[in-house]
Amino acid sequence: MKKKVAIIGSGNIGTDLMIKVLRYSDILEMSVMVGIDRNSDGLARANRMGVAVTHEGIDGLIKMLEWNDIEIVFDATSAKAHLYNYNIIKQFPGKKVVDLTPAAIGPYLVPAVNMESLEALDNVNMVTCGGQATIPMVAAVNQVARVHYGEIVASISSRSAGPGTRANIDEFTETTSKAIESIGGAKRGKAIIVLNPAEPPLVMRDTIFTLSELVDSDKVRESINDMVKRVQTYVPGYELHQDVQFEEIPESNPVFIEGLGHVHGLKTSIFLKVVGAGHYLPEYAGNLDIMTSAAKAVGERLTKM
């Protein structure tokens, strides 16, 4: 029997996630789409697809009869809105929350890296789109060589960055940097996001730099390729854009990293692209697709706990 879910946030991310649940999940059942704009395309689309809707936010959701049967709530709003939403949801025992905002109330979760450690928690955080794309690569390097420093640059099309994404820029960099350390395994992490206004829109591109202990580069490359395959099990459009590059930073000429001092070892440069599945949004919106695909995978796993 499928587990009923609600999605809070009728914008791009919430609507794309709704379609994924409706069309591609054998475990989750879409129950309610929640928004705050009665004229939003997401609510209108949900209504046409036979999904119950409310434009009164979380306050409207908990008044609906459907609320009693909902087991998982996906929050695709903003970091600040999630704080309000969760304070209400946690008053109802048994409800689990998958947070797609950078609020980071619950522990960070990147399916390809730490899904197996998922416990019966009532709130898990999906980090950010950049984090979902790049942290697996940092973790892949860290599996074979201790990573001293991990830096990621996520470049997304301006067209795929809605009001929620733009409102969360500061939270994006802070949350992603912390997750590079806590999930990716780097001693020090840094995250940068670029909203690319190019026309026609470009697909999501991610660049990852790590500085790790000096090891055989073939082992690092193999670990990276294995991790790419793991991510592709739930994000088919995830792939290396070009060959992984390596550079040895000798002990005689180390680089200075703030917070770490002078460091030497193996510099690894990884270049990714993420093409969206095109379920609701254009293929260039891979940043949204990787978030919703990862969230769906986590929601399905939570139903088994």
CATH of the domain at 91: 3.40.50.720
Q: Does residue 241 sit in the same domain as residue 255?
A: yes
CATH of the domain at 276: 3.30.360.10
CB 203 within 8 A of CB 286: yes
Catalytic residue at 129? yes
Tally the domains of the chain: 2
Asked if residue 188 and residue 204 are part of one domain, the reply reads yes
Residue 194, pLDDT score: 95
Active-site residue, selected from the candidate residues 79, 126, 129, 191: 129
Residue 107 shares a structural domain with residue 181: no
Find all residues with CB under 8 Å of 288, minimum gap 6, and list them. Answer: 12, 13, 16, 129, 160, 276, 281
DSSP 8-state symbol, 120: S
Is the distance from CB of 194 to CB of 166 less than 8 angstroms?
no
What predicted TM-score, i.e. pTM, was given to this entire model? Answer: 0.94
Pairing of β 238-240 and β 255-257: unpaired
* Tens of pLDDT, residues 112-121: 999 987 776 8
Q: Are residues 76 and 112 in the same domain?
A: yes
Q: Mind listing the pLDDT tens digit for each residue in 209-257?
A: 999 999 999 999 999 999 999 999 999 999 999 999 999 999 999 999 9
- 139 and 234 both lie in a single domain: yes
Query: In angstroms, rounded to a whole number, what is the distance separating the alpha carbons of residues 32 and 223?
Result: 40
Q: Are residues 273 and 204 part of one domain?
A: yes
* Same domain, yes or no: 167 and 101: no
Q: Would you give per-residue pLDDT tens digits along the chain (305 residues)?
A: 899 999 999 998 999 999 999 999 999 999 999 999 999 999 999 999 999 999 999 999 999 999 999 999 999 998 899 999 999 999 999 999 999 998 889 999 999 999 987 776 899 999 999 999 999 999 999 999 999 999 999 999 999 887 777 877 888 899 999 999 999 999 999 999 999 999 999 999 999 999 999 999 999 999 999 999 999 999 999 999 999 999 999 999 999 999 999 999 999 999 999 999 999 989 999 999 999 999 999 999 998 87
Whether 54 and 192 map to the same domain: the answer is: no
Ordered DSSP codes for 231-243: HHTT-TTEEESS-
By residue range, what is the domain housing residue 193? 129-282
Question: Within this chain, do residues 278 and 293 fall inside the same structural domain, yes or no?
Answer: no
Whether residues 142 and 95 share a domain: the answer is: no
Could you tell me how far CA 121 lies from the centroid of its own chain?
18
| Burial grade of 21 (CB within 10 A; 0-12, 13-18, 19 or more) | buried
Cβ-based neighbour number of residue 248 at 10 Å: 11
